Structure 1
Amino acid sequence: MTGELARVAVVTGGTTGIGLEIARFLLRSGYRVAVFSQSRDHVLAAEATLAEEFGSENIFARTADIANHQAITAFFGELTAIWTAPTILVCNAGISPKGINGAVPFTGIGLDEWNEVISINLTGAMLCCQAVVQGMVEGGFGRIVLVGSVAARGRPKIAGTSYVASKAALSGLARALIEPYSSHGITVNLVAPGRIITGMSGSANSPSNLAAIERIPSRRFGKPEEVAALVAFLVGESSGFINGATIDINGGEFVAP
């Protein structure tokens, strides 16, 4: 870890759920970690928790709208001024709208829902990638990990169309970044979690989750720390030849043909 101790990692959606566990895992591995969220309460809670565990000097937490170009520019500008340009970016932020009866049927999706999901799950990732790649090029090192979903790998069982489309598009974003940036020591990979029990996925005993577990060959749900461990491996210096990969972490729910 000698070369990595001073590295700065940004985890979008890093204040709750999988993102918070990724932030915790990277801090434990010796990185300084920056997180942001639209929710001030989430930011303050995550900042307090992580600072208590790892020291406030290793945490940079701000309230920012991931879909707002100016907000993202300001966040990365302040981060770079206070610490240094990040060499690790984990694009984890995402939303998956549900109604009382689950995801809205395709014909019932309104433009407001569609635009919000695309702006957060896809456009936000693009804006963050734009904000960091030049610094990575100049430093000759970079790791970008996009967090997709098993829902975008096969036939979606629970997620709505907006979510599935946004997560599927992340794989296209990853492919588009490979050619122009790989020769500069930058890798771009995508991880596709299956059913991981977090606040977004709901109770393990909900009807949709009980049905989901029957589709998972491992016969259990995933844990946020398992996703975090995978991400931590991918952003390390020893993972430089893993590039352009989609790595499934879903207990066997999706098996490529």
Structure 2
Amino acid sequence: MTRPITTRIAVVTGGTSGIGLATARNLLERGCRVAVFGQKRINVESAAEALSRDFDSERVVARAVDLAASAQIGAFFQELEDLWGKPEILVCNAGMSPKGPDGPTPFQEITLDEWNAVLSVNLTGTMLCCQAVLPGMVERRFGRIVLVGSIAGRAMPRIAGTAYAASKAALAGFTRSLVSRFAAEGITVNVVAPGRIATEMAGPRDSAANRAAVARIPAGRMGEPEEIAAAIGFLTSDEAAFINGAIVDVNGGEYAPL
């Protein structure tokens, strides 16, 4: 059984709903102080209320931050440092996957604005958050970074658009680069790649897309946010210290790179 991570400071981006909120709960249960942020203020307020109700409110911070705005990212991490100190754990979960009524934008119709918007959140925002926490991790010679990828970045994309798939696939190269530079500093960087998970982004469980997904998933069901959070939580633990540069696929067997 994984021992609690007492008193560590964790940041979860996109931590106000879905996988991110489940991850925040997992880390709070492990004893961490957890700061979450999201772009939608209504989700931020709801997450702050729920987490503060279920855990010690002194161990919870929730803020509205736009990952496409570097100044907001910098201000968030400075506020957190002033309040608690420098984070030892970073979970980069925030992401965007534009879809219309008929699904993702067809490739030839993707505008430069849409392409840049997706990469600015899913990839550049991740880079900026890592830049913010790594100096403190190097000082302590300890750090845990977990990036939330996607089956769309691992296998043939079935539902996701091109920009989303490209941004998630890019996390593998990004992770290798950080591992090569920071592994000797006691810092691990890993990717968790979820399959089809029952979240707001996935839409109603009984939608045509989700029914089709369940039909091809060997487990015969969609995953739950808590199952992704459990994998993320383990990778932040002391027991996972020798797991570095890994991609952990959590998809019910839909993609099995054996």
TM range (shorter): over 0.9
Aligned-partner residue type, residue 48 of structure 2: E
| Partner residue in 2 for 1:167 | 168
The Cα of 1:4 is off from its aligned counterpart by 2.8
| Partner residue in 1 for 2:219 | 218
| Partner residue in 2 for 1:154 | 155
The Cα of 1:103 is off from its aligned counterpart by 0.8
| Partner residue in 2 for 1:103 | 104
The Cα of 1:13 is off from its aligned counterpart by 0.0
| Partner residue in 1 for 2:140 | 139
Distance in 2 of aligned mates of 1:4 and 1:97: 36
Aligned residue pairs, count:
257
Determine if the alignment matches structure 1 residue 129 to structure 2 residue 91: no
Instruction: Say if 2:97 and 2:164, in contact at 8 Å, map to a contact too.
Output: yes
Distance in 2 of aligned mates of 1:63 and 1:214: 37
* CA deviation vs aligned residue, 1:49-85 (integer Å, no higher than 9, x gap): 0000002101011111112111111110110110010
The Cα of 1:3 is off from its aligned counterpart by 8.1
Distance in 2 of aligned mates of 1:31 and 1:157: 36
| Partner residue in 2 for 1:115 | 116
Q: Helix, strand or coil: the match of 1:165?
A: helix
Moved over 2 A (4+): 1-4
* CA deviation vs aligned residue, 1:202-236 (integer Å, no higher than 9, x gap): 11110011111111111111000000011000000
Instruction: Say if 2:66 and 2:72, in contact at 8 Å, map to a contact too.
Output: yes
Q: Helix, strand or coil: the match of 1:214?
A: helix
Determine if the alignment matches structure 1 residue 78 to structure 2 residue 73: no
Distance in 2 of aligned mates of 1:90 and 1:126: 12
| Partner residue in 2 for 1:66 | 67
The Cα of 1:2 is off from its aligned counterpart by 7.7
Determine if the alignment matches structure 1 residue 92 to structure 2 residue 93: yes
Shift of the 255–3 alpha-carbon distance from structure 1 to 2, 3 Å rule, reads closer
Aligned-partner residue type, residue 7 of structure 1: R
TM-score (norm 2): 0.97
| Partner residue in 2 for 1:187 | 188
Instruction: Say if 2:9 and 2:89, in contact at 8 Å, map to a contact too.
Output: yes
| Partner residue in 2 for 1:31 | 32
Superposition RMSD in Å: 1.2
The Cα of 1:112 is off from its aligned counterpart by 1.4
Query: Unaligned stretches of 5+ in structure 2?
Result: none
Distance in 1 of aligned mates of 2:54 and 2:5: 20
The Cα of 1:97 is off from its aligned counterpart by 0.7
Distance in 1 of aligned mates of 2:80 and 2:3: 22
* CA deviation vs aligned residue, 1:134-167 (integer Å, no higher than 9, x gap): 1000011000000000011111000000100011
Q: Helix, strand or coil: the match of 2:171?
A: helix
Instruction: Say if 2:4 and 2:31, in contact at 8 Å, map to a contact too.
Output: no
Q: Helix, strand or coil: the match of 2:216?
A: coil
Aligned-partner residue type, residue 116 of structure 1: A
TM-score (norm 1): 0.98
| Partner residue in 1 for 2:198 | 197
| Partner residue in 2 for 1:207 | 208
| Partner residue in 2 for 1:20 | 21
